[in-house]
Structure 1
Amino acid sequence: MKKTASYILTFLLILSLGVGLLPNNTVQASQPKVAFWLTVLHNNDGESDLINLGSGLEDFGGAARFKTLVDRLKWDALHGKPPVPTAPRSVVMVSSGDNFLAGPEFNASIKNGVPFYDSIAMDLIGYDAIALGNHDFDFGPDVLADFIQGFSVSNPPFLSVNLDFSAEPRLQQLKNQKRIATSTTIKTPAGRVGIIGATTPMLPYISSPRNVRVNDMVAEAVMAEVRRLETMKINKIILISHLQSITEDLSMVPYLSGVDIIIAGGGDEVLANPGQLLVPGDEGRIFGSYPLWATDSNGVQVPVVTTAGSYAYVGRLVAGFDKAGNLLMIDESQSGPVRVAGGGQPDAVPPDEEVQSRVVEPLIEALNEMSMNVIGASEVALDGTRTNIRSRETNLGNLTADALRWQAAQLAGVYGVSVPQVALQNGGGIRNASIIPAGNITELTTFSILPFPNFVSIVEGVSRDQFKQILENAVSRVEFGDGRFAQISGFRFTWDPTGTAQTLDANGNVVTVGSRVKDVFLDDGTQIVGDGSVIPGPDLTVATIDFLARGGDQYPFRGAAFTTVGVTYQQSLRNYIQSGLGGLITAVQYPEGGQGRITRLP
């Protein structure tokens, strides 16, 4: 077997030339020679940020500039100044997942149809392999299949070693066609390089994979694939993983062997070394050096890298291997994040004309249209001001909570779950921070109200005791303007700010019992809580967003199973206004000040 730490040797000449050897190695009498240089170009978490990095950062990011930069880096990897010592060279380009994301840009893709704008952009950028991330399943397996089938030029394989697609016909068909795989191999002058993909085992709890089955033994699944590749005489192996945090990858390395390089995704961490240009604002959030190192089960040092998302950087790792496929060194002079810049920046690159014309310009036009797309009207001003939405019932809060309950009821049967009696929306997820005047409501307005990639979710079997704890959490920090305050639907409740505030531990277990919630009544008159005491009765089914169902804002669902229904909370609001309300938000149904759903005692 290859990859023993004692095999890797150092010498002063290499150090003087800016080539970084693997950590924790000592000088030996003989020096193994670099026989092959592999440049790994990578990014992760593109998340449909195809135009630029947003207000104030318009000169950075964007898929069109990203494409130009990737082309230049690919050319440099093969034809530019060679690493030292000189040896044959090759280059691969990979993504570590979350290749699209709910929001106005992806909504424009859905409206435009297959191929999605993200598919077009990534197809033109030219990837050798793409990992499947959790957000890639956010709209369900069928939309993911549409996304993959939108690639028609480069046709890269989409990789995950720990997902089983056999119960999802469209995805299984793509696997049969080798468009989805556990791993792939890339031909180079030094033999084939293996690339393995992996996906977070949290996928069922944070996305909508429906019948995709997840093996949560990720390290074991990776090792089985490593051994399979090694039987094929493949001795250079890259893992592209989407485990939600580079910390997860670093902690997995001690259970691996035979993996030479890990490209992480999902954490949006900034890795950088002194003197490297960064997107403004990133200087203060550097997670660590590029690369980070971890020790595998054989004592071998493995470089682990990632980039911040949104097409802000192209990661570049230049790695030297010996003839046996052992990773000898990283060329530090050429490795690191390369920012995507335009405008008057010293490292500016022009946008690629084809990506600009086929992706960026149509998206800009679509967003402009969205801002003019009237989906309904309101007879009344809608209160989303930060102070109010986080402390009391407002009519906009009622509207968003009603939209969750209505949308969940529409789709419950499709997903085989119960119709919810109640709904909860945290005030911190309502972000317009303003009063929306009476008048037309546009599609873009719904994105300003509910901008996050939160998905409508249904939690069954919530006991009345637990439901009271959830409400105690919702009012436990009102005095601090905390975003956990709940806007509600399907019930009403009374609370007393002089009561004891509930406190919870990190797992959502009650540390201090709350006594603020006094009375709770369902819309049908059923009493759940009376004078602070829970009244025994049947469990409840709750509509909410996946962020809260996972325990966000300390909502004590405590790992309860939940079902996401493939619709974002923004889409639920749009759909509710258009279909549920027939396009009109009336003053009778949503009066200023609310309907008395939440009563704060004097």
Structure 2
Amino acid sequence: MSSTIALHPISRRALLGGLAASSALAVLHPFSTRAAANQAHLRIMETTDLHVHVFPYDYYADKPNDTLGLARTASIIDQIRAEATNAILVDNGDFLQGNPMGDYIAYKRGMKAGDVHPIIAAMNVLGYDCGTLGNHEFNYGLDFMLNVLNGANFPVVCANLTKGALAATPRQDALFLKPYIILDRKLKDGTGQEHPIRIGLIGFVPPQIMTWDAKNLEGKANARDIVKAAEAWVPQMREEGADIVVALSHSGIGQEAYAENLENASVPLAAIEGIDAIVTGHSHLDFPGPKFEGLAGVDNAKGLISGKPGVMGGFWGSHLGLIDLLLERDGNAWRVIGSTSEARPIYRREEKKVIAEVGDKTEVLAAAKKDHEATLAYVRTPVGKTSAPLYSYFALVADDPSVQIVSQAQTWYIRDMLKDTEHRDLPVLSAAAPFKAGGRGGAEYYTDVPAGDIAIKNVADLYLYPNTVQAVVITGEQVRNWLEMSAGIFNQVAPGSSDAVLINADFPSYNFDVIDGVTYEIDLSQPARFDKDGNLVNPQANRIRDLQFDGKAIDPAQKFVVATNNYRAGGGGHFPEIAADKVVFVAPDTNRDVIVRYIVEQGTINPSADSNWKFTPLEGTSVLFDSSPKARQLLSEVKAVTIEDAGDGADGFARFRIRL
């Protein structure tokens, strides 16, 4: 991008005026008002990580939710189009899985030839120009995904998903989808004159799909390195006459330096010559935004990634990503001379309240109404009872009932599956993590199932993903390192310090595995042995103390079966030495199905936590963590640690103190 005009991003308030009223006049973006005769304003609108959220509804809590839903995002699209002289709309992937509606369609309703998936039906209403794939598109299998894509009235592209083995060069790859498309459009310049433009759109998916969905992809597909694929295809797009090229990168904004097969490759991808702008996703964040301050290769103030305009539009429809380009026509060619970026939200927070900025687009609701109602009936179906409440408010600081029941079900299942195998005499442990533990999901993002009837929606709430059960055989020493990796979620705490922040916000809760069947302490005074990517950074550190099996110190050489899921067993989360070569059992059943079957067989479950782990005492030391305000009613239920109310946190959270 040459001769770039340095412009600060336009504030949302400056452009928002009258957004909630359909009759309100749009406020034109400055590029549209100041474009000259040979200049044009092009707006790129992005949705990303929708995860089947059409309605503003939380199926797990079984109640409306103003922070999500394509119907809400859609209601601002017409207004946002009207702020620009020229605009296109793209989706950046992860639309097919992620809530019970996705599971209902995949597992209950099914997809017959000619059927249109509700998320696709909703997207078809909005006039998308193009989409790409995310990693969760593969969770239900290739055939299911391709059948769903047949219902889209917009093209879906992916340049690095291959049929079978990788070819000698990317351009020789046999791809499932077109690597890119080139849109032939007319742009109105500053005087209203129309000029032709060719807009190239190319898509990418994380190569880690081959690990995360090996059961669906192994022997059928492969995934090429994102940057290498782009280096091959972008020049061809230019050769075919693309005036500008926009990368649809279902990949996060991570490190600046290139490394092969990066999961979060958007910074080196944006640096490729010939790419003019990049829409990103996968990380469930909004860019520009405070999470990206100071990141190498990123200009958060100007919304630039490797010097190119970029955006990340949140998740579940929480934001619409906007890139505004000021283009200048030089002869018959266009070039970018200015840009702004913004992730525009569908809601705001005022103190502890969520305030909707917009209403629903009724046409989008209508497109998915029948399946929404069928999903409600599906998730409300009882499967058994629980004798105690299931909640995850304290899942990151104490042994927890929502994690306990998952481990009980996994252990029950794997013992039965291995009873007639060579591994029948090995002790069975179980690894499980809390999926809903606040964080980026907000102060309401917790599991909370009261005692009494337990329904499918509750099981889906306990276990968000359609993972399948797997078992690995590892040593006692590898069990220890598994736990050392999990303990990386905690910040190091100086003994005697007051009110240190306990949780490392960059460590995802789904990588905080609790291993049931052993007992142990976590010493917060020690540094983490591994970083969040599984690299050994402090070899002498030992956060895991007093690790015992059957009441005795664990034997480093003893072998154990550990029940887990396909994501972790395949190397997901970068846990040391946990990879496909350790797998001894691959189940045909999802973890959720196993939990349902366990509850059905038990009739009434007892999910009370057994307090098999705790923090090592540190005299005179206290730490703080945030949870839902609802957690205040359950403080007395936590046995392994003493927790007290410490007031209010940010963004609707409550703050709590643990005296170690």
TM (norm. structure 2) is 0.64
CA spacing shift, 1:92–1:408, aligned 2, 3 Å: farther
Question: CA–CA distance in 2 between the matches of 1:9 and 1:388?
Answer: 49
Indicate yes or no: 2:315 matched with 1:260.
no
Question: CA–CA distance in 2 between the matches of 1:599 and 1:35?
Answer: 63
Whether the 8 Å CA contact 2:310–2:323 is kept in 1: the answer is no
Residue 42 of structure 2 aligns with an amino acid whose one-letter code is L
Indicate yes or no: 2:194 matched with 1:183.
no
Aligned counterpart, 1:85: none
Aligned counterpart, 2:208: 202
Post-superposition shift, 1:311? Answer: 1.4
Post-superposition shift, 1:366? Answer: 3.9
Post-superposition shift, 1:184? Answer: 1.1
Whether the 8 Å CA contact 1:99–1:118 is kept in 2: the answer is yes
- Matched position secondary structure for 1:512: coil
Which of residues 44, 50, 56 in structure 2 aligns to 1:46?
Answer: 50
Aligned counterpart, 1:520: 549
Whether the 8 Å CA contact 1:502–1:515 is kept in 2: the answer is no
Question: CA–CA distance in 1 between the matches of 2:436 and 2:315?
Answer: 24
Aligned counterpart, 2:529: 504
Post-superposition shift, 1:44? Answer: 0.9
Alignment: residue pair count: 514
Post-superposition shift, 1:372? Answer: 3.2
Question: CA–CA distance in 1 between the matches of 2:612 and 2:356?
Answer: 56
CA spacing shift, 1:109–1:411, aligned 2, 3 Å: farther
Question: CA–CA distance in 2 between the matches of 1:410 and 1:102?
Answer: 29
Post-superposition shift, 1:533? Answer: 3.1
Residue 56 of structure 2 aligns with an amino acid whose one-letter code is N
Indicate yes or no: 2:367 matched with 1:358.
yes
Residue 442 of structure 1 aligns with an amino acid whose one-letter code is A
Which of residues 211, 218, 232 in structure 2 aligns to 1:224?
Answer: 232
Matches within 5 A, 1:16-31: 18-19=30-31
Which of residues 5, 11, 34 in structure 1 aligns to 2:38?
Answer: 34
- Matched position secondary structure for 2:143: helix
| Deviation sequence 1:103-134 (CA, Å, 0-9, x none) | 22322333333333212112222222111111
CA spacing shift, 1:65–1:383, aligned 2, 3 Å: closer
Post-superposition shift, 1:517? Answer: 4.6
Indicate yes or no: 2:143 matched with 1:139.
no
Aligned counterpart, 1:584: 603
Aligned counterpart, 1:158: 156
Indicate yes or no: 2:87 matched with 1:91.
yes
- Matched position secondary structure for 2:136: helix
CA spacing shift, 1:408–1:430, aligned 2, 3 Å: farther
Which of residues 113, 125, 129 in structure 1 aligns to 2:110?
Answer: 113
Whether the 8 Å CA contact 2:183–2:200 is kept in 1: the answer is yes
- Matched position secondary structure for 1:229: helix
Q: Give the gaps of 5 or more residues in structure 2.
A: 8-28, 167-172, 187-195, 256-263, 294-298, 349-353, 438-445, 494-500, 504-508, 617-639, 641-660
Whether the 8 Å CA contact 2:483–2:544 is kept in 1: the answer is no
Aligned counterpart, 2:70: 63
Aligned counterpart, 2:430: 424
Post-superposition shift, 1:570? Answer: 3.4
TM (norm. structure 1) is 0.69
Aligned counterpart, 1:279: none
CA spacing shift, 1:253–1:555, aligned 2, 3 Å: closer
Question: CA–CA distance in 1 between the matches of 2:614 and 2:302?
Answer: 54
Post-superposition shift, 1:376? Answer: 2.5
CA spacing shift, 1:179–1:330, aligned 2, 3 Å: farther
Post-superposition shift, 1:375? Answer: 1.6
Indicate yes or no: 2:303 matched with 1:302.
no
Percent identical pairs in the alignment equals 15
Post-superposition shift, 1:513? Answer: 4.2
Whether the 8 Å CA contact 1:373–1:443 is kept in 2: the answer is yes
Question: CA–CA distance in 1 between the matches of 2:554 and 2:417?
Answer: 34
| Deviation sequence 1:61-87 (CA, Å, 0-9, x none) | 43223334334444654xxxx4xxxxx
Question: CA–CA distance in 2 between the matches of 1:535 and 1:98?
Answer: 41
- Matched position secondary structure for 2:207: coil
Whether the 8 Å CA contact 1:322–1:328 is kept in 2: the answer is no
Residue 520 of structure 1 aligns with an amino acid whose one-letter code is F
Which of residues 303, 324, 330 in structure 2 aligns to 1:292?
Answer: 303
Which of residues 337, 342, 345 in structure 2 aligns to 1:329?
Answer: 337
Residue 263 of structure 1 aligns with an amino acid whose one-letter code is V
- Matched position secondary structure for 1:318: strand
Whether the 8 Å CA contact 1:62–1:312 is kept in 2: the answer is yes
Question: CA–CA distance in 1 between the matches of 2:147 and 2:569?
Answer: 29
CA spacing shift, 1:515–1:49, aligned 2, 3 Å: closer
| Deviation sequence 1:22-45 (CA, Å, 0-9, x none) | xxxxxxxxx997355433221111
Whether the 8 Å CA contact 1:294–1:303 is kept in 2: the answer is yes
| 217-226 or 227-236, which deviates more | 227-236
Residue 567 of structure 2 aligns with an amino acid whose one-letter code is D
- Matched position secondary structure for 1:428: coil
CA spacing shift, 1:224–1:425, aligned 2, 3 Å: same
Q: Give the gaps of 5 or more residues in structure 1.
A: 12-16, 21-30, 83-89, 169-174, 273-281, 296-300, 413-417, 522-528
Aligned counterpart, 1:127: 128
Post-superposition shift, 1:240? Answer: 0.6
Residue 42 of structure 1 aligns with an amino acid whose one-letter code is E
Question: CA–CA distance in 1 between the matches of 2:392 and 2:312?
Answer: 37
Post-superposition shift, 1:235? Answer: 2.8
- Matched position secondary structure for 1:259: coil
Post-superposition shift, 1:241? Answer: 0.8
| Deviation sequence 1:460-480 (CA, Å, 0-9, x none) | 453443124335667899999
Which of residues 266, 269, 275 in structure 1 aligns to 2:285?
Answer: 269
- Matched position secondary structure for 1:511: coil
Aligned counterpart, 1:404: 410
Post-superposition shift, 1:430? Answer: 7.2
Residue 310 of structure 2 aligns with an amino acid whose one-letter code is V
Post-superposition shift, 1:204? Answer: 2.5
Higher RCO structure (Cα 8 Å, ≥6 apart): 1
- Matched position secondary structure for 2:235: helix
